[in-house]
Amino acid sequence: MDDIIILSIKRGIIMTFDVNKLQWIREPEDYMLSADKIEIITEPHTDLWQRTYYHFRNDNAPVLQMETDEKYFSFTVKTDFESKHRFDQCGIVMYLDSDNWLKGSIEYENESFQHLGSVVTNNGYSDWATTEIDANIKSMWYRFSRREDDYCIECSEDGITFKQMRICHMWNGNGTIRFGVYACSPEDSSFKATFTNMEITECKWLAHDGQQPDLE
């Protein structure tokens, strides 16, 4: 069992996060996988971004994911990071291909503040939403939830109370998906990102209880 992270029991079935079945997209040179921890040492000039505003395409960050066709679930993970250079970042990700993915993370800016935010990329264009937080924060929990082809990203400083960061639709996210964690350093830097407390549960993003959906 050393190579398997037991995540949850759902509908009487034990769901596992088997590190032997995780799939790297761009495997980094320096990392560690164990039953309850993932560590990634980032490499300089690694990033994820597509076109918008900056007019460049960066698609070389290491991504570690599992695959599922489950339509309703939540994935929670705690991140700890030693970022200290502009744009250093780590967090959760759903990477389908270079033109279709989303991520939630903290991106270091300077000694005063960093950006807590999310990027949603549909059909080759990235959409970034952020808020500034104190640069001394070096730990954050994230929760990624799926309801068919709609998705929600939340964050928490204590792993108990989660706050919504983003609700989005993924045009290519209605079938089998891959999700997990990532870390990167877009400029000339490197740091260690640590991921623990990984858990899959029933979907914590509850169905809307107000206005009913339109009839299609």
Question: What pLDDT, in 10s, does the model give residues 31-48?
Answer: 999 989 999 999 999 999
Q: How far is CA 170 from CA 74, 80, 111, in A?
A: 16, 28, 34
- Asked, for residue 5, whether it belongs to a domain, the answer is no
**What is the β-pairing status of strands 31-33 and 72-81?**
unpaired
89-118 pLDDT, tens digit per residue, is: 999 999 999 999 999 999 999 999 999 999
- Asked, for residue 54, whether it belongs to a domain, the answer is yes
> Which amino acid is it at 22?
L
| Average pLDDT of the residues in 122-150 | 98
- Asked, for residue 2, whether it belongs to a domain, the answer is no
Looking at the structure of the chain, the number of domains it has is 1
- Asked, for residue 17, whether it belongs to a domain, the answer is no
Q: Give the Cα-Cα-Cα angle 157, 196, 58 (nearest 5 degrees).
A: 85
- The Cα–Cα gap between 214 and 207 comes to 15
Q: What is the pLDDT of residue 19?
A: 74
- The Cα–Cα gap between 179 and 58 comes to 19
Contacts of 7 (CB under 8 A, 6+ apart): 15, 16, 17, 198, 199, 200, 201
Whole-number average pLDDT of the chain: 92
Domain with 163 in it: 22-201
- Asked, for residue 1, whether it belongs to a domain, the answer is no
- Whichever domain contains 53, its CATH number is 2.60.120.200
- Asked, for residue 208, whether it belongs to a domain, the answer is no
- The Cα–Cα gap between 140 and 163 comes to 12
3-class state of residue 159 by DSSP:
coil
- The Cα–Cα gap between 60 and 23 comes to 15
Q: What is the pTM of this model?
A: 0.92
Beta bridge partners of 120: 102, 127
Q: What is the pLDDT of residue 17?
A: 67
- Asked, for residue 121, whether it belongs to a domain, the answer is yes
- The Cα–Cα gap between 4 and 88 comes to 29
Q: How far is CA 60 from the centre of its chain?
A: 16
CA Rg, the chain, in Å? 17
- Asked, for residue 11, whether it belongs to a domain, the answer is no
